[in-house]
Amino acid sequence: MRRDFSFHSDGTTCRGWLYTPAGGRRSPAVVMAHGFSAVKEMRLDRFAEVFAEAGLACLVFDYRGFGASDGAPRQDVDPQAQLADYRNAISAARTLPEVDGARIGVWGSSYSGAHALMLGALDRRVRCVVSQVPMIDGWESFERLAGVEGRAALVEQLTAERERIYAGGAPAMIPVVTAGTDFAALPTPDAWEWFQMMARTAPAWRNQVTLRSLERLLDYGPGRFVDRIAPTPLLLIVAAQDFLPLDIAERAFARAGEPKRMLVLDGGHFSAYEAPQFATASREACEWFVRWLR
């Protein structure tokens, strides 16, 4: 049902898992990757198992520079490079004898939920999109987390980092999460709790990213592309108590064309990965893929 799988992305080997459903038929496929700094062992196997049970092949992978994949620099979150990895994963999936290359869907969560929106808008090989708790607009989302002054201070810090790297310095590293009030990429208590829990089952995860990853996050605004996704079907799964503001997702969804659906889960940003909300999130995503890919 699951085997190791690798593919090349811009000269770098990305590694992951290929799930194939029982029966030996050519199947629709879902291409999946994780969010900001996360790796495939952080609950993606659970979602892929649900999808495979419903007759969907799944290609689950780590981005270049993360987890099991090759690539340097390590722990450097670059949304454009990650989008290229997704698109190359789609190309790889379409070469497989087990996969019907005309029926490819993408699933993403958090930062990869943002990527899923971009893929739906830009890559017409994608026939169905599920975007779970996505980062819609980095600039506005960070203001909601840190305030205008906090964002301005970060921009000043990132400008100094850019000039330091230009002068020959190595990229500075920061924690992804912290337990207290120290500076981190995801400075929320629920982020600390979830990543610490997941670290026990995902030894390849590292609690660090480059500081310049936040510059790219501030620049990233997938919500600007939402109205280009149609006529590709879009399921948007959001969380009512997410640290990524619900109203930003609602505004983006309003601009999306049909067919579309929005599901609001009770809980915070990480609730979709855990019981009881995992059952709802995985079932609704699975039903959406089955409806539009089969």
In this predicted structure, the answer to whether residue 181 has a pLDDT above a threshold of 90 is: no
Q: How confident is the model at residue 17 (pLDDT cuts 50, 70, 90)?
A: very high
Supply the pLDDT for residue 62.
98
* One-letter amino acid of 223: G
What element of type H or E holds 8? strand 2-9
Percent of the chain clearing pLDDT 90 (strictly above): 97
Rounded to an integer, the average pLDDT of 31-49 is: 98
pLDDT tens sequence across 82-111: 999 999 999 999 999 999 999 999 999 999
Q: For residues 249 and 56, give the distance between their C-alpha atoms in angstroms, rounded to a whole number.
A: 27
Cis peptide before 231 (omega within 30 of 0): yes
In this predicted structure, the answer to whether residue 294 has a pLDDT above a threshold of 90 is: no
Residue 72 to residues 30, 38, 79, 171, 230: CA-CA distances in angstroms? 27, 16, 15, 12, 35
Residue 105 DSSP SS3: strand
Rounded to the nearest integer, the mean pLDDT of the chain is 97
Q: Which residues pair with 13 in a beta bridge?
A: 8
Residue 286 DSSP SS3: helix
Q: How far apart are the first and last CA of the chain?
A: 20
Q: Could you tell me the strand order of the sheet in which 126-132 lies?
A: 2-9, 12-19, 57-61, 27-32, 99-109, 126-132, 234-239, 260-265
Q: Which long-range contacts (CB under 8 A, 24 or more apart) does 191-195 make?
A: 191/243, 191/269, 191/270, 194/270, 194/273, 195/38
Answer whether 0.75 is exceeded by the pTM: yes
Supply the pLDDT for residue 180.
84
In this predicted structure, the answer to whether residue 25 has a pLDDT above a threshold of 90 is: no
For residue 153, which of 223, 209, 111, 214 has the smallest C-alpha distance?
214
Q: How confident is the model at residue 23 (pLDDT cuts 50, 70, 90)?
A: confident
Supply the pLDDT for residue 222.
98
In CATH, the number for domain 2-138+221-293 is 3.40.50.1820
Percent of the chain clearing pLDDT 70 (strictly above): 100
Rounded to an integer, the average pLDDT of 110-119 is: 98
pLDDT tens sequence across 127-146: 999 999 999 999 999 999 99
In this predicted structure, the answer to whether residue 24 has a pLDDT above a threshold of 90 is: no
